[in-house]
Amino acid sequence: MTERLAILKTYKLYIGGKFPRTESNRYYQVTSAKGKLLANASRGSRKDIRDAVVAARKAFSDWSGRSAFNRGQILYRAAEMLESHAQTFIDEIMAITGKTKKQAGDEVTASIDRLVWYAGWADKYMQLFSTVNPVATKYWNFTYPEPTGVVGIICPDEMPLLGMVSKVAPAVVSGNTCVVIASETNPLTPITFSEVIATSDFPGGVINIITGFKSELCGPLATHMDVNAIDYSGQDEKTISSLQEAAATNVKRVVIRRTPHGNDWLGDTSQSPYWIEPLVEMKTAWHPVGS
């Protein structure tokens, strides 16, 4: 009897609440830490980025218009779904990174806790960043944060699940929608996380995940005229410079997070309400008082 060959899974993209094949029909092989072929990942294209931005923009009005309490509920639901599928993520992280079961478990647990943590900030961050400004006339003068719009997120290659969760949660909790370029070397866990998103009440288009080569995807995302901000974590000065130059086409905001790195993603330095603040716009309103 001949030996049966395993059927390798081909991971799709996640755009607009659906799982389409890449427009380019290209894929690349993902191997384990020991060099074993694990699966095929979609090699996203410029067209996939455009489709994801369209989906994110379409979802923005509904998502940003929801109550802070409701957004917190949905983030909490995502944490519940991630916890119920924790073993799947642990196995995947162990296979692709070579981490021990404890190390992989720590990353998954931290990802769950981080979603809960940001869910708790959903109805509190505005109190932290809003102000009542002193003026010399009979007006109330308020400054308060509003979501900036569509955020392009470029995920770190280390901590493929926790790194993505740590960047996506503060972006969407304030009402932004996002287009995520997943880890290039460890794309399986981020795209598997899209199955959690799809079953946790997030409207389609709020979070869109593209896998592929960053050298092909970062440019189209940073130059897209309907993307309002770019969030990058890493130390690559060449990439930082190219993102800043590309973003100048429509003067979009570029948020550079040079830290954390390595196991620092597990610590308190990688979660803060001040990770929400760069991705909101401060609006000021005047209101007359008295006669």
By CB atoms closer than 10 A (0-12, 13-18, 19+), residue 103 is: middle
CB 165 within 8 Å of CB 193? yes
- In a domain, residue 158? The reply is yes
Q: Is residue 258 part of a domain?
A: yes
Look at the block and give the residue holding tokens 């869910």.
119
Q: Give domain status of residue 172, yes or no.
A: yes
Residue written as token pair 């478990």: 105
Phi, psi torsion values for 147, nearest 5 degrees: -60, 145
Q: What is the pLDDT of residue 44?
A: 96
Contact 186, 95 (CB under 8 A): no
Structure tokens that stand for 136 in this block: 């010399």
Nearest to 145 by CA among 286, 280, 44: 280
Give rounded-to-5 percent helix, strand, coil for the chain: 45, 20, 35
Residue 207 is given by DSSP the state E
Q: Kindly report the CATH number assigned to the domain that includes residue 30.
A: 3.40.605.10
Domain housing 187: 20-288
By three-state DSSP, how is residue 175 classified? coil
Please enumerate in sequence order all residues whose Cβ is within 8 A of that of 77, keeping only pairs 6 or more positions apart, or say none. 200, 201
pLDDT, residue 1, reads 62
CA distances to 1, 129, 176 from 276, in Å = 59, 10, 10
The verdict on residue 115 lying in a domain is yes
Low-confidence ranges of the chain (pLDDT < 50): none
Sequence-separated (6 or more) residues with CB below 8 Å from residue 87: none
3-state DSSP call for residue 131?
A: strand
Instruction: Quote the CA–CA distance of 156 and 185 in Å, as a whole number.
Output: 10
> Which residue type occupies 280?
V
Give the tens place of pLDDT for each residue, 246-270: 999 889 999 998 878 878 899 888 9
C-alpha–C-alpha distance, residues 161 and 187, integer Å: 9
Q: Is residue 235 part of a domain?
A: yes
Q: Which residue has the tokens 């979501």?
A: 147
Question: What pLDDT score does 206 carry?
Answer: 98
Task: Find out whether 179 and 152 touch, Cβ atoms under 8 Å.
Answer: yes
Supply the pLDDT for residue 64: 97
Whether residue 144 contacts residue 283, with contact meaning beta carbons closer than 8 Å, is answered with yes
pLDDT of residue 291: 61
Answering whether pTM is above 0.85, one says: yes
Question: 């593209």: which residue's tokens?
Answer: 210
Outline where DSSP puts E strands in the chain: 10-11, 27-31, 37-42, 131-132, 139-147, 150-154, 177-181, 207-210, 229-233, 253-257, 280-288
Q: What domain count does the chain have?
A: 1
Domain-located, residue 270: yes
* 197 occurs within a structural domain: yes
pLDDT of residue 108: 97
Q: Does any domain span residue 9?
A: no
